[in-house]
Homo-oligomer: A and B are copies of this chain.
Amino acid sequence: SRLEDTVKSTVSENPVVVYSKTWCSYSSEVKALFRKIGVEPLVIELDELGPQGPQLQRVLERLTGQYTVPNVFIGGEHIGGCTDTVKLHRKGELQPLLSRAGAN
Contact = CB atoms under 8 A, between A and B. Distances in A.
Q: How many copies of this chain does one complex carry?
A: 2
Interface string A10-42: 000000000000011110000000000000000
A23 to B, nearest CB: 8
A93 to B, nearest CB: 22
A82 interface: yes
A82 B26 CA distance: 12
Contact of A82 (B23, B25, B68, B82): B25
Interface string A66-78: 0010000000000
Contacts of A26: 25-26
Interface of A: 23-26, 68, 82
